[in-house]
Amino acid sequence: MPDADKGAVADQPVVHTVLSAAEQGYGTVLSLKFPYYEQPVPVPGSAAMATALTRLDKVLPAVMGKVDVLVVGNEPFIECRQEDRNTPQLNAFYEAIARRVIAFRDQHGGASNKTKLYMGALNRLNDPAWRTAATDRWMSFTRDTAALDGVDIHPHVAGLEEAQAFLDYVLPRLRDGQTFLALEFSLVHHWKAHLSDPVSGAFAAKYAIPATTQVWEVIADAIRRPFTQQKWNDFLALSPWFANRRHFLRDAVRRFRATGRLAVATYGVSQDAAMVADFGPKSTPWLLNSMFCPYTVQRGPAGLPGRNTAWTTSFRDLQ
């Protein structure tokens, strides 16, 4: 949302890309991200709230009726200071934003408008400490607001059973007819738990590296000097902690769909620069989630980016 201060919203890279995709007939989702990591969440009626609403008023005319789904907030309970995480102030801010969005849509066709409205994502619901009075109020507001179609969840977990905790929390708190989004999900916490493991003996032997080399060191080496596609395939396929989770993408989406309440699930397409910066044993290895791997795998002979081939079959089958 702060990018709304940088000029015409429709011309900014993220929004331009989304709108271009919509014009080509693709389904599109846009999340409105309000970052308050280092400042208090605005209080309705304050100058900071006025700033947030002014930005919102710039964005809504550019996207309403053009994107299929508009999400109020991205990860509200992470994109704030820790002391604001479980406070009525956080709820009050996002409820005010949601009402502003709803009022704008009401002025432009209401429920007949192409754009469906959802509240932004709940995180870490597998941890009881993240199921709070604030998340309960988040769900109550979602359920009781007729213009909202549901809520987003981001199950970044260590195992599929932890993703079930998100469904167990959200689904009973939605009203009949509401649905959920899963715009981010992954096993990133499982990958992270294995970064300091020794690399598999088979991989070490095949590529003549010390058996004591740790997983994170192999990844760091791939970032410095991208591997061939075969070497990256071997690294993942010969690592039991990865290979025995190679069906996660398929299994997670099947579980979401089995509820009968899934509206949209999306998955990370590509590695980016932030994922590989200063990579070390304590890094969060988002790069292992990605379908495409331009930062760890050499380009193919036709110039196409390298891939994480473990996900390819599941991704295609899920289509």
Q: What is the per-residue pLDDT across 82-91, written as a single tens digit (0 to 9) for each?
A: 999 999 999 9
2-185 belongs to CATH 3.20.20.80? yes
Statement: residue 146 has pLDDT above 90: yes
Q: What is the DSSP code string of 241-301? A: HHHTTTTHHHHHHHHHHHTT-EEEE----B--HHHHTT--TTS--GGGT-SB-TTTB---T
> What mean pLDDT, rounded, does the chain reach?
97
Q: Using one digit for the tens of pLDDT, what is the confidence trace for 263-280?
A: 999 999 999 999 999 999
**pLDDT in the model for residue 96:** 98
pLDDT attached to residue 88: 97
Tell me what pLDDT residue 319 has.
Answer: 87
Q: Is the pLDDT of residue 229 over 90?
A: yes
Is the separation of the CB atoms in 121 and 184 below 8 Å? yes
pLDDT for the residue 301: 85
Tokens of 87: 């406070």
The structural domains of the chain, with segments of one domain joined by +, span 2-185, 193-247+268-319
pLDDT at position 241 over 90: yes
